[in-house]
Amino acid sequence: MVRQAHHERPGKKLLNDLKEIALADSVIELENITRVYQMGDIQVQALSGVSTLIKRGEMVAIMGPSGSGKSTLMNILGCLDTPTSGSYLFEGKEIGKFNDDQLAEVRNRKIGFIFQSFNLLRRTTAAANVELPLVYGNGRGRRERALKALERVGLAHRANHKPSELSGGEQQRVAIARALVNNPSLILADEPTGNLDSRSSNEIMDIFCQLNKKDGITLVLVTHERDVALFTQRIIFVKDGKVVNEEILKTGSEIR
């Protein structure tokens, strides 16, 4: 009697293999993330079952109306807040298992932050502002590393100028250099063009595109402006604490 060989369903095996490959190449994996805030006797559901994957080297925009949960989502991605439930894997590691010191280490060494209001120290030079993240970590060659970061954003010649002596676009470039100085795995930008005119906004987004395309840096940015989001490769739309849609752009940062 000839026995027929038993074959595992190829579809299921292929699906599992593809999932493992995707996870291995991801910086961020969110699964059923919720965030509930207690406001007296009232519970406010800021996020409700958010799941998404951001691969290494992607440039992604998060869009949504005010109160949609964008800022809460960014705070969780940046390890500034923790989810009420769900799983957040950062480079394959479960963030929910990290203590405060480990979270601080991730924020300092793995993530670069850029804010709408620049958040620069007014009385210190551009170079000194860029050096700040190095004070809390490996401080070797701080000035040299700061100058290299400023050079990457085209601002090395303004290294000794204070923020009050710089334009808004230049101040944001200093903030980008500060985010880059520790060579992070991820850059999070919260409304990075919100305080800039259209010309400066385009210049900042061009810098982001170059960092993403040439250096392979993973970028996630929150924006209200679709023109800004169109510089990215994918747009995640958030509403009422949920991901309601994702739009994949044909050519990503090269669309411009």
Would 61 be classed as within a structural domain?
A: yes
What pLDDT score does 6 carry? 47
Q: Express each pLDDT in 213-227 by its tens digit.
A: 999 999 999 999 999
Does the pLDDT at position 11 exceed 80?
A: no
Q: What is the pLDDT of residue 5?
A: 47
Report d(CA 35, CA 85) in Å as an integer.
7
Do residues 51 and 30 touch, judged by C-beta distance below 8 A? Answer: yes
Check residues 14 and 214 and name the one with the higher pLDDT: 214
Nearest-angstrom CA–CA distance, 167 and 161: 11
Q: Which two tokens stand for residue 177?
A: 């250099």
The number of distinct structural domains making up the chain is 1
Write out pLDDT tens, residues 100-151: 999 999 999 999 999 999 999 999 999 999 999 988 766 678 999 999 999 9
Q: Please report, rounded to a whole number, the percentage of residues in the chain having pLDDT higher than 70.
A: 87
Is residue 121, in this structure, part of any structural domain at all? no
Residue 152 lies in a domain: no
What is the Cα–Cα distance from 203 to 201, expressed in whole angstroms? 5
- Inside any domain, residue 96: yes
pLDDT digits over 141-179, tens only?
899 999 999 999 999 999 999 999 999 999 999 999 999
Cα(192)–Cα(173) distance, integer angstroms: 10
Q: What is the pLDDT of residue 252?
A: 45
Give CA–CA dist 224/239, Å, rounded.
Answer: 13
Q: Which of 6-15, 92-101, 207-216 has the lowest mean pLDDT?
A: 6-15
In a domain, 149, yes or no: no
Per-residue model confidence (pLDDT) at position 234: 96
Q: Return the pLDDT at 33.
A: 97
pLDDT above 80: residue 82: yes
Q: What's the pLDDT score for residue 136?
A: 73
Give the pLDDT confidence score for residue 61 in this predicted structure: 97
Is 154 a domain residue? no
pLDDT digits (tens, 9 = 90+) for 184-204: 999 999 999 999 999 999 999
CATH of the domain at 71: 3.40.50.300
The structure's pTM equals 0.86
In a domain, 220, yes or no: yes
Residues 6+ apart with CB under 8 A from 177: 126, 130, 146, 149, 150, 152, 153, 155
Q: What is the 3-state secondary structure (H, E, C) of 52-113?
A: EEEECCCEEEEECCCCCCHHHHHHHHCCCCCCCEEEEEECCEEHHHCCHHHHHHHHHHCEEE
**pLDDT, tens digit, 9 for 90 and up, residues 43-70:** 999 999 999 999 999 999 999 999 999 9
Cross-strand bridge partners of residue 247: 235
The pLDDT tens digits for 22-32 are 556 899 999 99
pLDDT classification of 2: cutoffs 50, 70, 90? very low
- Which residues are within 8 A (CB) of 41 and not within 5 positions of it... i.e. 6 or more apart? none
| pLDDT of 96 higher than 70 | yes
Cα 250 to Cα 254: distance, rounded to the nearest angstrom: 9
Q: Which residue has the higher pLDDT, 234 or 21?
A: 234
* Residues spanned by the domain of 87: 10-110+184-255
